[in-house]
């Protein structure tokens, strides 16, 4: 069973979300990196770009497949994790530290729409 | 080992040296100084025998349709009949140059004209252009034609192409290359396009839809006529990805299903050699509506005084064409092989291709199901290919689809397509094609059953495979992260 930290929020498309001072940080879950296999390339979204809820914002490429990343909340991309360009494998190694991008959300209520750890566990188990 | 690593200064291939001449001075006087290369060409210096041995040994390491069963789903790896090769290599074909006169090229042009007609007949369309130099270029041409059609009508607000989530990755890529936004349509659990979802997104912004039928899930899209009418009512067009045409040859035609344009991978359905970086061909075929936009050149036929004369059709003949895709007329050598293949089969033979490719796939599917493998869409009959999902094996035994694929190589079978379509986890997409006999299919089932037993009892044997090939399991992660594709002189 993959790791699902209790203090994070989750999307059905396997992104994790951490809220810090009005900003949210997004990465992909342990379960997602397990499914993808060895990650070899991460295409990051553009800083400053406006993004809709569930909008595509980046691509994660593994030896098996290329998967789109989706925005778990609408807002503006304020920062991306440039370090992933040189070490995409850090997502495999430490999925909850290897964040991908940060969003300044349009609305703070949006966080409530996401899944908590218990609900996300159910999503993973149903697969 | 690379041929460059066998190089030794001063060695040469004696066959290239002209008797009585030590070396021939290069005549460069006609080439401006600025355009001459500054460094010498980096070529390996090897003897004739060294190069013969090098390439023969490489070919012996190859795992190909000529040596092994090759059930690579969605790629239709069927045998390339030697007769096609022999006839396409006749001096009368080989000696033609595309800039030669039409008068001297009537034989080649008659063959190409016939091929255009055959492809129209097979697909139920109006006109063919043979000029795309690969399937991907054929796809690009098809979408560019859809764009040209809307533009010609002044209908410039259409900016979206619909693509089902089961589609080949090239479909959305071609749409984007033509300046369209891509909208994904979900597939239902039976493998058909979700019609409710389709109705919701179709509108005045829809330029068209790109579909493969049968789909990459190996099932026939049953609601295709309804899809066509939804699209056409909204003013959109239908593009047919010809990847899976093999399953329906002589049975049903994209034109009859309501498609407006199609590209054909002749290396799949018409059995020309597959890639390897070599020349390809991806003819594009259109109905009445889109025919004026086909890429040039095409071959036209004229009757003059009881005689049939063939000539190249260019911009003057096809003013609405999307234009040229390459300097000449596509890869004629490949097209000739497709033409000969079609002529050898005839109408009856084409239907036989569909019959046996579908029969072989369903036979293999049922036998694997009985042997305990899980099918992705068990409730549907397969077309020419089907999907096994190894999700249970991966979860319970820790042996993945990739491990199965690698172990199959040890048993003398090329691996099926793995991890595609993306919708199905841990999947193998298996396409036996019509050219395989029952013994081969049975041997494949036996190998799969043996591997399943190994996965249960000695999983390391599967996870470490292949054990018997010239190379062991390759580090595909490192290969992807540290690309090393060129040889550079180290001095």
pLDDT of B477-488, one tens digit each? 888 888 888 777
CB–CB of B419 and A41 under 8 A? no
Domains of chain A and CATH, by start: 11-106 (2.40.50.100)
> A35 — contact with chain B (CB < 8 Å)?
yes
> B402 — contact with chain A (CB < 8 Å)?
yes
Q: Which residues of A touch B169 (CB under 8 A)?
A: 66
**CATH code for position B444:** 3.90.1150.10
Q: Which residues of A touch B481 (CB under 8 A)?
A: 40, 88-89
Q: How far is A111 from chain B (nearest CA, A)?
A: 26
* Tens digit of each residue's pLDDT (9 = 90 or more) over A7-29: 999 999 999 999 988 899 999 99
B20 within domain boundaries: no
Residue B290 neighbours by CB under 8 Å, 6+ apart: B145, B146, B149, B237, B260, B261
Residue B25 has pLDDT above 80, yes or no: no
Would you put residue B394 in left (φ > 0), alpha (ψ -120 to 50) or beta?
Answer: alpha
Q: Which of A41, A65, A89 lies closest to B419 in CB terms?
A: A65
Domain end, chosen from B289, B313, B344, is at: B344
> A59 — contact with chain B (CB < 8 Å)?
no
Residue B26 has pLDDT above 70, yes or no: no
Residue B249 has pLDDT above 90, yes or no: yes
B324 within domain boundaries: yes
Spatial separation of the C-alpha atoms in residues B66 and B79, rounded to whole Å: 7
Confidence of residue B57 (pLDDT cuts 50, 70, 90): very high
Q: Which of B169, B425, B477 lies closest to A63 in CB terms?
A: B477
Domain span at residue B447 reads: 347-479
Q: Which of B169, B425, B480 lies closest to A63 in CB terms?
A: B480
pLDDT score at B40: 76
pLDDT score at A63: 85
B6 within domain boundaries: no
Residues B420, B322 share a domain: no
pLDDT score at B36: 86
Residue B489 has pLDDT above 70, yes or no: no
> A23 — contact with chain B (CB < 8 Å)?
no
Q: Which of A38, A64, A88 lies closest to B419 in CB terms?
A: A64
B68 within domain boundaries: no
Q: Which residues of A touch B172 (CB under 8 A)?
A: none
What is the mean pLDDT of the segment spanning B239-256? 97
B388 within domain boundaries: yes
CB–CB of B425 and A40 under 8 A? no
Residues B327, B439 share a domain: no
What are A115's two structure tokens? 């899944």
* Tens digit of each residue's pLDDT (9 = 90 or more) over B337-366: 999 999 999 999 999 999 999 999 999 999
Domain end, chosen from B302, B327, B344, is at: B344
Total domain count, chain B: 2
Residues B385, B298 share a domain: no
pTM score of the predicted model: 0.88
Residues B353, B317 share a domain: no
**CATH code for position B262:** 3.40.640.10
Residue B276 has pLDDT above 80, yes or no: no
Spatial separation of the C-alpha atoms in residues A38 and B419, rounded to whole Å: 14
Average pLDDT of every residue of chain A: 91
Sign of the Cα torsion B53, B58, B63, B66 reads negative
B485 within domain boundaries: no
Residue B292 neighbours by CB under 8 Å, 6+ apart: B318, B320, B321
On the question of a cis peptide bond just before residue B14, with omega within 30 degrees of 0, the verdict is: no
- For residue B184, report the phi and psi dihedrals to the nearest 5 degrees: -90, 135
Confidence of residue B17 (pLDDT cuts 50, 70, 90): low
Residue B490 has pLDDT above 60, yes or no: no
**Distances in Å between the alpha carbon of B422 and those of B189, B262, B281, B399, B428?**
14, 24, 27, 19, 11
Nearest-5° Cα angle at B147, B141 to B152: 120
Question: Could you tell me which residue, B9 or B223, shows the higher pLDDT?
Answer: B223
B487 within domain boundaries: no
Half-sphere exposure of B192 (CA within 13 A, CB side): 17
Residue B491 has pLDDT above 80, yes or no: no
> A118 — contact with chain B (CB < 8 Å)?
no
Residues B278, B419 share a domain: no
Residues B363, B288 share a domain: no
What is the mean pLDDT of the segment spanning B141-145? 98
Mutate to test the interface with A, among B166, B172, B390, B477 (most CBs of A within 10 A): B477
Spatial separation of the C-alpha atoms in residues A101 and A81, rounded to whole Å: 6
Q: Which residues of B touch A63 (CB under 8 A)?
A: 476-477, 480
ipTM of the predicted assembly exceeds 0.95: no
Classified as helix, coil or strand, B15 is helix
Spatial separation of the C-alpha atoms in residues B139 and B173, rounded to whole Å: 9
**What are residue B210's DSSP bridge partners?**
B239
B456 within domain boundaries: yes
Residue B16 has pLDDT above 70, yes or no: no
Residues B367, B326 share a domain: no
% chain B with pLDDT above 90:
78
Q: What residues in chain A have per-residue pLDDT under 70?
A: 1
CB–CB of A66 and B169 under 8 A? yes
> A63 — contact with chain B (CB < 8 Å)?
yes
Q: Which residues of A touch B402 (CB under 8 A)?
A: 64
Residues B191, B146 share a domain: yes
CB–CB of B481 and A63 under 8 A? no
* Tens digit of each residue's pLDDT (9 = 90 or more) over B391-430: 999 999 999 999 999 999 999 999 999 999 888 989 999 9
Spatial separation of the C-alpha atoms in residues B247 and B385, rounded to whole Å: 9
> A1 — contact with chain B (CB < 8 Å)?
no
Q: How far is B281 from chain A (nearest CA, A)?
A: 27
Residue B20 has pLDDT above 80, yes or no: no
Domain end, chosen from B322, B344, B366, is at: B344
Residues B251, B386 share a domain: no
Residue B18 has pLDDT above 70, yes or no: no
Residues B240, B168 share a domain: yes
Write out the H or E segment, with its range, that includes residue B142.
helix B135-152
Residues B372, B297 share a domain: no
As to burial, measured by CB atoms within 10 angstroms (0-12 exposed, 13-18 middle, 19+ buried), residue B365 is buried
Residues B401, B444 share a domain: yes
> A85 — contact with chain B (CB < 8 Å)?
no
């Amino acid at each position: 069973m993959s790791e699902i930290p209790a203090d994070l929020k989750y999307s059905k498309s396997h992104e994790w979300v951490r809220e810090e001072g009005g900003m949210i940080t997004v990465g992909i879950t342990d379960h997602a990196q397990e499914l993808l296999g060895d990650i070899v390339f991460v295409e990051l979204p553009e800083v400053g770009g406006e993004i809709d809820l569930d909008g595509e914002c980046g691509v994660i490429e593994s030896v098996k497949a290329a998967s789109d990343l989706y925005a778990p909340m609408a807002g503006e991309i304020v920062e991306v994790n440039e370090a992933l360009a040189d070490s995409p494998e850090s997502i495999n190694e430490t999925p909850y530290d290897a964040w991908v991008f940060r969003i300044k959300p349009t609305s703070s209520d949006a966080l409530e729409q996401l899944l908590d750890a218990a609900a996300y566990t159910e999503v993973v188990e149903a697969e | 080992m690379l041929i460059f690593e066998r190089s030794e200064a001063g060695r040469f291939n004696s066959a290239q040296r002209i008797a009585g001449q030590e070396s021939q001075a290069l005549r460069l006087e006609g080439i401006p100084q600025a355009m001459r290369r500054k460094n010498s060409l980096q070529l390996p210096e090897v003897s004739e025998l060294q190069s013969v041995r090098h390439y023969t040994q490489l070919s012996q390491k190859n795992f190909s349709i000529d040596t092994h069963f090759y059930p690579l789903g969605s790629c239709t790896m069927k045998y390339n009949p030697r007769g096609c090769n022999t006839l396409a290599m006749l001096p009368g074909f080989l000696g033609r140059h595309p800039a030669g006169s039409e008068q001297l090229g009537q034989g080649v042009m008659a063959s190409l004209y016939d091929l255009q007609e055959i492809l129209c007949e097979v697909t139920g369309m109006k006109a063919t252009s043979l000029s795309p130099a690969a399937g991907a270029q054929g796809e690009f041409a098809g979408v560019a034609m859809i764009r040209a059609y809307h533009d010609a009508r002044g209908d410039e607000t259409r900016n979206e192409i619909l693509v089902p989530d089961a589609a080949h990755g090239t479909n959305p890529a071609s749409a984007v290359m033509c300046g369209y936004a891509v909208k994904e349509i979900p597939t239902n659990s039976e493998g058909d396009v979700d019609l409710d979802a389709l109705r919701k997104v179709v509108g005045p912004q829809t330029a068209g839809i790109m579909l493969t039928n049968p789909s990459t899930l190996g099932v026939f899209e049953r609601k295709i006529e309804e899809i066509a009418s939804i699209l056409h009512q909204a003013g959109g067009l239908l593009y047919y990805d010809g990847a899976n045409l093999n399953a329906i040859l002589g049975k049903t035609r994209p034109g009859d299903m309501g498609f407006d344009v199609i590209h054909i991978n002749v290396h799949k359905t018409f059995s020309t050699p597959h890639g390897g970086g070599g020349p390809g061909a991806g003819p594009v075929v259109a109905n009445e509506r889109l025919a004026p936009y086909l890429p040039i050149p095409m071959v036209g036929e004229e009757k003059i005084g009881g005689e049939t004369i063939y000539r190249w059709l260019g911009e003057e003949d096809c003013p609405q064409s999307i234009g040229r895709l390459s300097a000449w007329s596509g890869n004629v050598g490949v097209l000739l092989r497709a033409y000969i293949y079609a002529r050898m089969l005839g109408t009856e033979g084409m239907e036989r291709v569909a019959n046996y490719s579908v029969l072989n796939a369903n036979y293999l599917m049922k036998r694997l199901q009985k042997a305990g493998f899980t099918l992705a869409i068990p409730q549907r009959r397969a077309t020419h290919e089907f999907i096994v999902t190894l999700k249970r094996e991966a979860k319970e035994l820790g042996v993945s689809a990739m491990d199965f694929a690698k172990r199959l190589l040890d048993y003398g079978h090329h691996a099926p397509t793995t991890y595609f379509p993306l919708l199905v986890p841990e999947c193998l997409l298996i396409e036996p094609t019509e050219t395989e006999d029952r013994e081969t299919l049975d041997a494949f089932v036996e190998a799969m059953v043996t591997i399943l037993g190994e996965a249960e009892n000695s999983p390391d044997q599967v996870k470490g495979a292949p054990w018997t090939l010239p190379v062991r399991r390759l580090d595909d992660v490192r290969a992807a992260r540290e690309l090393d594709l060129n040889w550079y002189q180290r001095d």
